[in-house]
Every structure is written in C-alpha cells, then in structure tokens.
Structure 1
Amino acid sequence: MIDMHDATPLDSDSGAQDPAATATAVIDARGMVTGWSTGAERLLGYPRQEAVGSPVARLLGADASGEGGFRAALGGRSATALLRHRDGRRVEVRLRAYPWLDGEGNAQQLVVATPPERPRPGPAAPPGHPGIDPATGQEAFAQCHLPVMVYDAGLRAVRASAGAERELGLREEQMSGRRVTDLLPPHICHAVEDGMSRVFATGETEQFLVRGRSRPEAPERVWSITVSPLRSPAGQVRHLELSALDVTEQHLARERLALLNDVSAQVGSTLDVMRTAQEMADATVGRLADFVTIDLLDSLFRGVEPTPSPTGAVTLRRAAQQSVLPGVPEALIRPGDADDYPESTPPARCLATGRSSLHRTTDEAVRAWRQADPGRAEVVRVFGIHSVMAIPLRARGITLGVAVLVRHRREEPFTHDDLLLAEEIAARAAVAVDNARRYTLERDTALALQRSLLPRRPAAQHAVEVAHRYLPARTRAGLGGDWFDVIPLSGARVALVVGDVVGHGLRASATMGRLRTAVRTLADVDLPADELLTQLDDLVTHVAAEEEAPGAHEPDLEVSTDVVATCLYVVYDPVSRRCTAATAGHPPPAVVTPDGTVYFAGVPPGPPLGVGGLPFETLEWELPAGSILALYTDGLVQGEEHDLGGGLALLRRCLERPARSLEATCDDLVRTLLPAQPPDDIALLLARTRALDARHVASWDLPSDPAAVADARAEVLARLTAWQLGEVAFTAELVVSELVTNAIRYGQPPVRLRLIREAALICEVSDSSSTAPHMRRARTFDEGGRGLLLVAQFAQRWGARHHADGKTIWAEIELPGPRA
C-alpha cells in the first residue's frame, strides 16, 4: 500500500502541487486503486479500507461524459468529470493524472481532484429567484453610501466606495495606490495606520474613534473606524477593509451628558459664592467654551437680597473666569472687581429678561457692544472671538447673574444644542450659587449674633492684662457656642470665664448668650466659683426641660437635642495674689510662671453643665505677679491632627516659648495649633496677673466697740491724705462710719476694715457673721435704717459677699480725674 503523504510524482508539473487539491488517488496499470487519501474519503464517501483494491470504474461509476473526462485526465490532460458519491449523488470535479512509480518500479498514476474553477457562489436564492451575480456585488460596493475602503498589505488603497469618494473629495482612481497618510490629516491618519498595522499583525478586527476633518473644508466630526481583515481561502490576511461611521451626534451627546455629570459632581463642593462660580467656569472651559466669565449682582457680595430681574444698565461683580489660554489673557478685570454693562448689551438684556442668547460677533447686538466698549472690541479682534453665548444664572425665580461663554480657538460656532447645554449647566450652578449665598448670609447673621453676645472688648479692670481670640468654625455645621468673658468683681478681683455649648448653629449661639448673661449675673452677687457653677447647672437643666416640653417646638424649626455645655470659672485676687477655679467638664487652665515654667492647674473635674450627678469643687492656689493664665475651649487642643493629650502637650510647648506680648502669644498659639479651616469654634483668653502692694492697700483690725468708729474715721482720713485723695475724704469717712457701725452693731468680731486704692476707692468691712444686710427706707420716727441708704447714695457701687469666715460689705467711691 502506498502512503499518499509520502508519494512523489515523477513529473514536476506545478499542478501536482496545487494547494487547492481536495482528493488524491493512486491507480495501477490494471485500473485498481492502490492509494486513497482522506480528501478522497471526504469527496466521495468511500473509506480507505473499502476503496483500496477495488476497480476504479466501480468506485467512480463515471457516465459517458464523466468517463470521457476521466479518460482525458488519465491521458495527462486536465478535464472536468462527474463522479459518483457513495450515496448516489453526482460530484463535479476537475481531474488531472500524473505519472507515478511504486516501490518496485511499476508504473502507476496519481489522480488529483480539485473543485472546478468558477466564481464563488453567493447565498442560496429562494426558489424561483435568479440570485445575485458578481456584477451586482461589485456595484453594491461601488455605490455604498458609507465610507468603505480596501487596503493591501502595503497599506495602499485598492478599492473605495462612493461614500469614501464623497467624504474625501477624491475619485477612486485618485485614491488607488495611495496610503492613508496621503489622504487624511496627520492626527487622524497616524491613528488609522497604527490600527491597520495591528490588524495585519494580529488578524483581529479593531474598532476605535477618531476626531477631525476628512478634508480641510469639511466640518470636524467624530468617526467610528472599523478595520477588518480580508482572508484568502487559505486563511491568510491579504487585504484590509476599513469602514467609517459618522457618530458625531452620539459622541457629542455623550460628551454633553458627561459634562453635566461633572458639573453636578464638581460645582457646589463648598458653600462659598466665589468658589462655586469658579467651579462652574473650570468645568466648562475646554469642553464647551474657550473663555468663560461669570458675573453676579453686586448686592450678593454685600449680603443684600437680590431684586427680581433688574432692568437698565447694571453693575455686576466678577465672580469667576477661566480660559484655555494660560493666565486668562482675554479678561479685562479680575475676580472681585465690578463692571458696568449698558442696557443694550447682551448681558444686561439677559439679566433683565432672564433668557439666554446666542450671537456671532458679526451680529448687530455684539457690534453695538464693541462700539460702546473699545476694550472688549480689542479683545475680540486680538483673540479672534467669533461666537458668544450669554446665559442667565436663575435660581428660585431670581436672576443672580450672567455667564458669558466665548469661542475663539475652536472654529465651530456655538449651536442651539450648545445653548441648551449651557442653560442646563447654568441652572445647576445657579442653585449651588444661591445655596452658597444663603449659607453665607445665614452664617454672617449667626456670626453677627454670636459676636453681639460676646464681649466686644474686655471690661476695664486692673487685676490682669488680657488678650483674647475668637475664631468661628469654617464648616457647614455652622457656628458653635464657644464664649469667653472678663468680669470685674468687688475688692479689685476679676473673674475669667471660658465656656462651650455643645452643638452648632443659631441654637447653640442663643444658648451661649443665655449662659454668658447668667454667669455675669451670678458673678455680680459674688457667688463662689463652685456655687456659681451649681446655679448655672440648674439653669441649663431648666432650659433643657423647657425645650423638651410637649408643644415646645415648631415643625419647621431645628430639632432640639439635649442642652450640654462646659464652663471654666477662675477668680483672681490681686491683693492676696490667690486664684480660685472650678470647672464643669472643661479643660483645665494652663499657668505660665514668670520663670517660664508651664503647668496645668489641677482643678477637680466636674460634670458638664446639664448632666448633673456630681458636685463641683474648687482649687485655690497662689500665683506670683506676672504669671499668665491661659483659658481655652477644646477646639484649640483637640482636632483631626491630634487628640486632646497631644494638643495639651503642644500647647505646653508653645507656652514655653517666650513671646514679646500676650497678643503675640495668642497669634503663635492659633498659628501652631489650628488648621487653616478650623472644624470647631475657638475661644482663647490669656491673662497676665498683677499685684496690689502696700502702696495701694491699707487694712485695720477693729475692736467690737462703738467707740472704734471714730478711730476708724481718723485712720481713713490719714491714709487718704497720704494718698492725696482729700477730695473724697468726706464721702469715705461717711461710708466707713456707716459700714463699721453696722458691723459692730449687727455683726460678730473680729471686724476688719480695708481700703484699696485702684480705679476707684474701695472700702471693705468684714466680720464673722453670715447675716447679710439689706437696704430699707426708714420711716419718719425710726432711729435706724438709714445707713445703707446713705452708702448707696454716696457710693458708686456697693454690695456684700460671703466667704468661709463670714461676710464682707464693700462700697466703691469714684475718684476724680485719672488714677494717680
């Protein structure tokens, strides 16, 4: 048996190597089949075992026509024959025989059967249909309205459809043999040729987008390019088919949708009017316009509610601008500057009517604008501006400003679709701008309220030198309830207060105002620090109970939460140089001694106000003159960058650095401890202590004897003469006489008299009785009851304060002229 794969023809005729051969058989001189290929099995259906050894005439069953063809093939000529398949049907093939020798040198013939050479048939036509001939297929390609081209392996054009001729403006003969680089602009042809090269290398179809002009005079379009391999019957990629589909509208629609999505995501990220307008300009430039300006009504920047649709000439203030050119050279003014627009200009009409407008620079409206504004006319000329849109920024029925969009680098003018897109962008941006405006107005109102509730300047006193800082939060949560205060007390003492209401907004500010007022009221009656916080805690509890009562809230108002606050109350006495402090859930004060040592006072911690459950305790210690007390709210030492412990350590290090003044120390603490945008309100109060020595203080211990009143008046007169305060001697004698008389008559020994020369002359009389005097109007025949009335008439202020050893009655007498 001869192996068909190893058989070698004797003749070198090239036909023996026809790659299209589908079947081969070997026939010996007797007409018997001695070799049968797999292709022969496929062609005629006879398996190799059945075919080998059988007469060829029985297998092929050729009729007269086929037999003649078969005989012609055996004679060495190529001939067409009809062969019989095993299932009985006829198979038309092209036959040719070649001389052959077997292993013993016997002559044989190698018969090769191939499909007949004829045009490849198209799809089967329905019964009775004539089918499509090759000429029709050629005409269909030539007349195809889509741009379709065929390229060879050298990337040269072979065929071009009518659509390709129309788009490129060339006939097929002119394109034949030319590369893509000879037909398309550079930025397009390189992308196309790279794709064609990849398809030749991989044999896989590729699809990609290109944007540009198919010829110089054509408009810019977006094309979906498909490059497909064309294979030979052997499967080799010999040509490429390139088709182009105009997807400009679909692509622009996707771009517009993407731009709107970006505007929604990017515009309004902050509640700042200028920043919001700039975000709109940044998102629009380069994707819709080459230059954008956004001008808003000047009243928006002054906190005034805008009026609906102002008419006539208007003054607008530049909120934002952006350009595809570095430095925005087209702009005539800077953000923040104001500009006047005459009534006839597109921005003024846009603002008055609330309707957008689209213009070419050759339009009458733009020409009139250029004549009225030579500066803008020069910008139009220099940069080649050719298309302009004026878009109103309207929100909640009010026009807030105008956006002007310009094209000069992009050659295509604005279209109606661009106008609709710009209107949608402006509508979304206008809502964000209006939200920012409303937030700014509300924040300014809350800040004004809070600042009105805080001390504008510390009250005049001489016990301490003070410096302070208040920084409102820069977050959407709004202002908090931080506060501080400096309260002069009797006996030349001073109270330093810092507090914080938990929460933000107007409610926190209002609660802060109530607490600050309560602290000043309680301080005026000289309550000790722990008792003052106890009274303040009761007040917070009552406020919370009122807000939780049924029907206490309106549906549209802020939802109430528990009222919780912290407070630190410190009292300093410059005579004894002693400091007393109590805290309600507040960080302790920091103390800087004159030698630079920094420590935190160990004030016993108490619960926050409104929580209750534990009593408040005080800490009393002595401070050298020139020491610094630092009171602060937790926002100074606690934040995202560090916790409370880390903040306190950083505060200690900052206070250890010497500074030339308390103001400089405040600035250093704010700069070191706080971020650029503090998330919480900050209240900081620094106080440098002073001391009153013997030159300003005189005291006497008096016996509990009415005769001691005269001695007390004499001692006071002598001291006032030494202090050169003779002008108030009569008033001081009268006040001292009444106060000492009351202490001896109604009080308990020991009785002590003290004069303090400060901004006023302070007279104090102390005894060990806790009974507080009260003023009443004496009747006509009463022998007593006029003492305190006289004191109240002659003194600037008077009062009583209780302490552990009894009470002190005091009176302040105004000194004439400046302090000596």
Structure 2
Amino acid sequence: MCPNRPEGAEADSSPAAGARALALALRQAAAGVGGQGSLLHRWDPGAGRLTLVAVDGVDAGTARAWAELDEEQDVPPSRALRRGVLVQVAGDSLGTGAAGTVAVPLLGTGGPVGALSVLLSAAGEPDDVQLSFLHAVAAWTAQRLEQADTKPPHGEAASGRERTAGAEELTARLAEAVTVQDVVQAVAQHVLSLFSADGLVVSVFEGGRLTRVGEVGYPMDYLKRFEGPLNAGLPVTDVLRTHRPQFMESPAQMYERYAAVTDRILMGTSPKMAWAFLPLVASGRAVGMAILSYNQPRPFDQEERTRLTALGALVGQALERARLYDLEHARAQELQSALLPGTLPRLPGAVAAARYVPAGRGEQVGGDWFDVIPLSADRVALVVGDVMGHGIAEAATMGRLRTAVRTLADLDMAPDELLGHLNDLVSDLGEDFYATCLYAVYDPVGRTCCYALAGHPPPVFVHPDGTVHSPVVSPDPPLGAAAPPFAVHELPLPDGSLVVLCTDGLIESDAQDAEQGLAELRRVLRRAGVRPARFTGADQEEDARVVAELCDTVVSELLPDRERTNDDAALLIAHTRAMPACDIASFGLPDDPRAAGQARELVRDQLARWGLDDLATTTELLVSELVGNVIRHARGPMRLRLLRSRILTCEVYDGSLSTPRIRHATYTDEGGRGLQLVAALSRRWGARYLSDAKCIWTEQDIPNGSRTGSPHESAAAASGEPDEDEEPLTAA
C-alpha cells in the first residue's frame, strides 16, 4: 500500500474512481483529526475562486454556503489558500454545531490547487500526529486534483508558448498593480505556475533589512527564523550586493556554497529542495528580493535562468512604484487621521460616536471630516463636511476648514452666518476648491435642532418612538460655489432623539445614487430598533456604547465590502438629552438700577434651592457686573436665566446688539474693570446674538460634592468622570 494514499483508494484514473478516492480522502481526513465532516475545494486562479467539489459528513444544503468562495473571503478555506499554511478557526463556521474548523492548502507543482477543510467535533487544536496525518492526506489529495486537471507532472516545465502567454499576462497585471500587495498577488498567481514552483517569498529591502511582504507555500514559523538584519554568508546578502540571481538546484549545492547557513535553512520545517534567489532591481538599486522554491531538487537550464533574471527586473520596477505609492498613501492617511478629532466630548446635551471609513480602493485619501463642539448654555454643535477631490491638498484643506469651524463656533455664530464665513474661506482658496458641509446646533433647553447645509446630504432624525425621518429641504450649493445667505432649518426634537449625519461616501456609490442611499440609511436605522430603553439616561458609558454599536451597524450594512469602496465616508450619530425644567430658572428684571439688587437676591434663592450655596457669592458678583453693564451701556428688556448641569451657567439678556469688550483700565480709572472681574471669576464667558437681542453668559464649575443628582447631570456624576469625558474614536 502506498503510504501517501489513503487506505482503500482506487488506483485507476477513471472519473468514478477519482470521485471515490476523493470521498475516501475526505473521510480519512475527518477521522484522523476527530472531525465530524470535511469539504474539498478546487482553486480556479483565472476566476480567483474556490469551488466546492466534494463533501463528506456535511449536509448538502449546509455546504451550499461554501459552494463558491472568493480568495479574499474571511473563511478558513480562503484564508488557508491565501497564506499557504494550515489555518485553524474556533467556532461554528457553517452552523453544523462544530467546535472549530481546520483548513489546509492543497499545493500542486504549479502552485495552489485547492483547500481541504475539516469541521472539528471538540474544542482544542489537533496534536502533531493528527496534523502530520492531515498534511499527508492533503498532499495526496492535491496530487489527485492536479491529475484530474491534466496539469503537467511535477518537474515538467510549461511550454514556450504557455510561458510567453503567461509572461504577457504577468506584465499586464504588474502594470495595473497599485499597491505592494497587488504586486505580490500578481507574482503569486502567475510566477508559480509559470515556472512550476512550489513556494514564493517576496521581501522589500530597506534600511539594511529585508521585510517580508508576501509568501506562498511556507509555514510561518519557518519564515520567522530569517527575520532580522542581513549577515554575511547568506545567499540573499550576496544577491542584494551583486544584483545577480543565485540558483540552488539541490541541498547539496546549497551546502557547497553556503555551508555555514545550510543547517539553518534545511533543518527547519520547510521541505524545499531547490531555490531561485532573484534580486528585484529598480533604477540601478536593489529594492527587494523574490525567492522561488521547489519541493524536489531540480536543474535550472539557461533559458529558465534568463527568464527568471528578466522577471526580477520587471517585478522590481513594479515593486518600487507600488512601494512609493504605499508610502505616499500612508502619509496622506496619517495626515488625515491627525486632522480628525481623536476623541469626541461627552456633553450633558449629547453623547456622540463617529466612524471614519477610508476608501478601500482609489489612489488617494479624501477630505471628509466631522466634529462635536460644546457651545454655551449646554448647546452642542454637530458638524460633518467633505472637501471635494482626493489627495494631500484636500486633506490639508479639510484640516483648515475644521479649524475654522471650531473658531467660528466659539464665537457662537448662527449656522447660516457660520457657513457664510466658511464659504468666503473656501472661495479664497481658488476656483478648484469646493466643499460640502452640514452645521447643526442642538439646544437642550429649547429642545430644538437648528441647521444649515451647503451641498451636503441632509440629517436623519430618529425619534424616541422609533420614527425615522429626514426633512426634505433644498440644499444650498457647495462652499466655494454658493452665494449667501444660507437657508436655516429648525425643528423641534423630542428628548432622547438621535441625530445622524454622514458624508456622501456612506450613501452614494456606483450602484446607487444619494437618494437611494439615504433611503437605505433610514431603513437600516429602523431595523436597528433604537428605543429609549436602550439608553439608560444615567450612565454615559452605557449610552456611548449603544451609540458606538449603532455606528458599527450602519457602516457594516451600508458598506459591506469596504475594500471595494472608492470614496471616504464619515458618520456621526448623537443621542440628545433635553435639560429638565427643574434645572432651568428664568426671571424678568426691571430696566432700572434696582435690577442688580433683585438679580443678586434671585441668584441667592435659586442656588439655595439647588444646594449650590458655595457658589452664591461668586455668582452674585458675576450677575451684578453683567446687569450693571446692561444698565450703563445697553438697553432692556432684561432677563436672567440660570442653568444647572455639570456646570452652572448664568445668562443675562438685553435688547441691545452692542458687543461687550474688556477694557485695559489704568490705576487711576474709577471704572472699566467689570468684564475683567467676570473673566477672572468664571471658567469662561462670552456673548451670543439673537435676532433682536443678545446674551452675555458665564460658566462656573460645580464642585462634585454640591451636585444634587439632577437627571440632566446624573449621567456625568454617576461615573465620577471629569468634565472632559470623551469617547475614543476608531477607524471602521
């Protein structure tokens, strides 16, 4: 009995006998590792697909899920084929009750020919004896598959016509390759079969080190033995130094030339017996190394050596071009990531999460951005924008616009006024620069959302009852092409609503327009079933987790195949929280000098009700200065409003649109120090303008011991986190 053939396998080559032999191989593979079933896939390199050809111990309907697999799919057979080594995955991959799956690549003389997978009955890894048996069955199965495909036997080189056609196809693939991985994939798919090789290692040479970027047909543990700086006496060192290839036709020849390293190469887990070390040269310097290897000793004739030498130059040019692209692309992505917010603040009025998804294909990064900005009176600004075009210039422009939005938002500008200033900035950049933007402000006191948009997809709102809607509005043109004023849209927003903002990369693609994508976004939000019950309202950590999970759900549903997207995408979701009435105190004041005294008395009484007596003295001083400023420099009617959350906000409204400014009073001046006192006593202060009035406001920190457990502030107090609580962001 042949030791490499499962017991009982038929020796004849008829189709029926071949089918019986493969079925028996599957049965023995499962029995050898204690499995409950097994599957056999044949590899079609032309289609880039694994096709199921035999099954044992698995229901046909269940196995249909793996009937056709792409090389890039994240399933055990595809992963084993890509990596060229055994892969074990825990869990029930096919819904059969299995504890895990072990998959082995089937390697033929011309490269991979398929994959053998076994569904494991029990948790844990098969032992060395079981794995050895599985590899033996896999080797025999690969031989049977290769014979069924009528491929040339081991050691028989492809004909001259086949090599010419293969070289032309490889040249075309390398010309199209963009990234280093594209180059590696092209070499793996075409060079192995072109030269009947069994293994491949491609490495990039930089800084005196070889860094492996791709491999086929090698165990990972074996390759790790050779990582590190190059030393003298290695074949790769001589090849990189001389730019000349080395051909080792047998272990004996390797020992003769490199005796000092033979044990290191041959005593590992690799069965390779012949090698071709090819320098990858571009612009007169070595940029990398490709090593073709064979399971049996074999000669290299002069024609093969010439072709392989030319191949090294061809791959070297493609590798250098791809490496430069990868380097530029990585720098652009780093720049863009650095310009995006690393964290989002957790504010009393909103808990937000965001996801940024870079394009899976395409040459350069985009200019999508998002932000969450705290405003006065616990209001929250939500921003999403997109600079048109791709590249480092667009990413830099995005950073400038995001900085400008933050600066303008800090001035408490209305959405339409802010977009007007942003439009001027984009127009000054030149005629070729355009950007879209949506700027929204949520007011937890008035329970409204006010927004303006310039050429951008509209927001989507999810109400606490599960209703999902996106107001139909006529957007203004993009920034750089618009003519202000911008339209302002305002709508009431129930407590606990979600505000969902995104860029067009999330909803628009080659397969659907923006309207269809927006409709799909609404359907995904409805299916997600977001209800107030999913938000605790008392724990920002839990609320942030739920919003983050919703972001992940939306991205996975709308961008299921991220590697094939050609535009960046940004998503921002905020869970809003209205301020309870018990945390709001509003009072009218007379338009005369008595107003300051009344304001101090109202502040003292209200802070006593809130248990904030420690802040009474400071707040009385602040109110006196703000009211006195109105009496001296503005006009009524006057109104005082106090807001309690994680901070105490004191607001004084008047009927004047004049701007308060801090004066530089001299030692002999009797006045002019009021706003200096305000700035010294408050954590921050400012002014914002309404249609017919203005508001001067101050903010003070509330000591932790003074917080009384208001529903609005309990979210922050419950976790004991400081005011700067923030939600970390991750790239989707």
Q: Work out whether the TM-score is over 0.5.
A: yes
Report whether the alignment pairs 1:627 with 2:514: no
The 5-angstrom pairing of residues 366-515 of structure 1 reads 366-367=255-256, 369=258, 372=261, 374=263, 376-377=265-266, 385=273, 387-408=274-295, 413-515=299-401
1:350-409 per-position Cα deviation (integer Å, ceiling 9, x unaligned): 1233221223326554456577454742589966x3x43211112234423322223456
One-letter code of the match for 1:788?
L
Residue 706 of structure 1 is matched in structure 2 by: 593
Listed as ranges, the matches of 1:596-607 within 5 Å are 596-607=466-477
SS in structure 1 at match of 2:641: strand
Question: Match for residue 278 of structure 1?
Answer: 185
Whether the 8 Å contact between 2:233 and 2:260 is mirrored in structure 1 is: no
Q: Does 1:319 align with 2:213?
A: yes
| Contact 2:356-2:570 within 8 A present in 1 as well | yes
Structure 2 match to 1:6: none
Which residue in the other structure is 1:339 paired with? 227
Secondary structure (helix, strand or coil) at the match of 1:267 reads helix
The reply on whether 1:610 has 2:480 as its aligned counterpart is yes
Instruction: Assess if the C-alpha contact under 8 Å between 2:250 and 2:298 holds in 1.
Output: no
| Contact 2:246/2:276 (8 A) holds in 1 | yes
- Measured in 1, the distance between the counterparts of 2:269 and 2:420 equals 73
C-alpha distance in 1, partners of 2:685/2:491?
A: 27
Amino acid at match of 2:213: A
Q: Is 2:201 the counterpart of 1:294?
A: yes
Counterpart Cα distance in 1 of 2:547 and 2:575: 8
Quote the offset at 1:757 in angstroms: 1.5
- What is the rounded CA distance, in whole Å, between the counterparts of 1:332 and 1:700 in structure 2? 74
Q: What runs of 5+ residues in structure 1 fail to find an aligned partner? A: 1-210, 214-218, 223-250, 301-305, 323-327, 546-561
2:239 maps to 1:350 = yes
How far is 1:598 from its partner?
0.6
Using a 3 Å threshold, how does the CA distance of structure 1 residues 375 and 783 change in structure 2: closer, same or farther? closer
Give the match's secondary structure for 2:356: strand
What residue is the counterpart of 2:508 in the other structure? 638
After superposition, the Cα gap between the structure-2 partners of 1:337 and 1:774, relative to the gap in structure 1 and judged at 3 Å, is farther
Instruction: Summarize the alignment of residues 217-232 of structure 1 with structure 2, pairs less than 5 Å apart.
Output: none
Separation in 1 of the partners of 2:581 and 2:497? 20
Paired with 2:486 and 2:224, the residues of 1 have a C-alpha distance of 53
Deviation at 1:280, TM superposition (A): 0.9
Give the secondary-structure state (helix, strand or coil) at the position aligned to 1:695.
helix
- Distance (Å, rounded) in 2 between the aligned partners of 1:818 and 1:281: 66
Structure 1 counterpart of 2:250: 361
**Which one of 726, 734, 756 corresponds to residue 621 of structure 2?**
734
Quote the Cα distance in structure 1 between the aligned partners of 2:613 and 2:356: 44
Query: Residue in 2 aligned with 1:667?
Result: 552
Partner of 1:88: none
Letter paired with 2:521: L
Listed one character per residue, the Cα deviations across residues 594-642 of structure 1 (whole Å, up to 9, x for unaligned) are 0000110244421110002353110111111100000000111110222
The answer on whether the counterparts of 2:180 and 2:322 sit within 8 Å (CA) in structure 1 is yes
Structure 1 residues 437 and 793, CA gap change in structure 2 (3 angstroms): same
C-alpha separation in 2, matches of 1:672 and 1:440: 28
Contact in 2 for aligned 1:607/1:614 (Cα 8 Å) = no
How many Å apart are 1:648 and its aligned residue?
1.2
Q: Distance in 2 between matches of 1:635 and 1:647?
A: 10
Which one has more relative contact order, counting CA pairs under 8 Å at least 6 apart?
Answer: 2
Counterparts of 1:140-179 in structure 2, within 5 Å, are none
Residue aligned with 1:286, SS:
helix
Shift of 1:269: 4.0
Q: Counterpart of 2:682?
A: 795
Distance 2:264 2:575 in 1: 59
Match of 2:96 in 1: none
State the 1:286 CA deviation: 2.7
User: Residue type of the partner of 1:700?
Assistant: F
Compared CA separation, residues 382 and 335, structure 1 to 2 (3 A): closer
3-state SS, counterpart of residue 317 of structure 2: helix
Displacement of 1:473 in angstroms is 1.2
Residues 294 and 403 in structure 1, CA contact (< 8 A), matched pair in contact too? yes
Out of 155, 162, 169, the residue aligned to residue 262 of structure 1 is 169
Aligned residue for 2:442?
Answer: 572
Residue aligning to 1:530: 416
Equivalent residue of 1:389, what SS? strand
Task: Determine if contact 1:318/1:337 at 8 Å carries over to the other structure.
Answer: no
Cα distance in 1 for partners of 2:171, 2:360 equals: 23
Partner of 2:27: none
Q: What does 1:17-36 correspond to in 2, within 5 Å? A: none
How far did 1:336 drift?
8.6
Cα distance in 2, alignment partners of residues 595 and 761 from structure 1: 32
Aligned-CA RMSD value: 2.8
Residues 381 and 536 of structure 1: CA distance in aligned 2, closer, same or farther (over 3 Å):
closer
The answer (yes or no) to whether the contact 1:289–1:405 under 8 Å persists in 2 is: no
Contact 2:634 2:655 (8 Å CA) reproduced: yes
The 2-side partners of 1:377 and 1:535 are apart by: 70
Contact 2:359/2:562 (8 A) holds in 1: no
How far apart in 1 are the matches of 2:226 and 2:461? 51
Alpha-carbon distance in 2 for matches of 1:456, 1:347: 43
Aligned residue type for 1:600: S
2:458 equivalent to 1:588? yes
For 1:647, give the aligned amino acid. G
For 1:544 and 1:746, the matched residues in 2 are separated by 43
Q: Per the alignment, in what secondary structure is the counterpart of residue 670 of structure 1?
A: helix
Q: Secondary structure at the match of 1:339?
A: coil
**Equivalents in 1 of 2:349, 2:501: separation in Å?**
16
- CA 1:685–1:605: 2 relative to 1, 3 Å: same
Identify the range of structure 1 (652-661 vs 490-499) with the bigger mean alpha-carbon deviation. Answer: 652-661
Moved more, 654-663 or 336-345: 336-345
**Higher Cα radius of gyration:** 1
In the alignment, residue 618 of structure 2 is paired with which amino acid? T
Alignment-derived partner of residue 748 in structure 1: 635
What is the rounded CA distance, in whole Å, between the counterparts of 1:778 and 1:404 in structure 2? Answer: 79
Query: What's 2:138 paired with?
Result: none
Shift of 1:734: 0.8
Matched, 1:690 2:577: yes
Aligned to 2:68: none
Equivalent residue, structure 2, for 1:232: none
SS at match of 1:779: coil
1:271, 1:476 within 8 Å by CA — same for their partners in 2? no
How far off its partner does 1:772 sit?
Answer: 1.5
1:204-223 aligned within 5 A:
none
- DSSP 3-state at the match of 2:580: coil
Which letter maps to 1:279? A
Say if 1:392 and 1:221 are closer, same or farther in 2 by CA, change over 3 A. Answer: closer
Return the letter of the residue paired with 1:396: S
1-structure distance, mates of 2:555, 2:190? 35
Q: Secondary structure of the residue that 1:684 maps to in structure 2? A: strand
1:764 to 642, 651, 654: 651
Question: What is the count of residue pairs matched by the alignment?
Answer: 539
C-alpha distance in 2, partners of 1:291/1:723?
A: 78
Cα distance in structure 2, aligned partners of 1:441 and 1:520: 31
SS in 2 for 1:544: coil
Structure having the larger proportion of residues in helix: 2
Once the two structures are superposed, residues 471-530 of structure 1 have per-residue CA deviations (whole angstroms, 9 ceiling, x without a partner) of 111223311111111111111111101011100000110111111111111111111111
2 CA distance for matches of 1:469 and 1:746? Answer: 47
CA distance in 2, matches of 1:740, 1:255: 91
DSSP 3-state at the match of 1:534: helix
1:200-223 CA-to-partner distances (Å, cap 9, x unmatched) read: xxxxxxxxxxx999xxxxx9899x
- Amino acid paired to 1:684: L
Q: What residue is the counterpart of 1:516 in the other structure?
A: 402
**TM-score of the superposition, structure 1-length normalised?**
0.62
TM-score by length of 2: 0.69
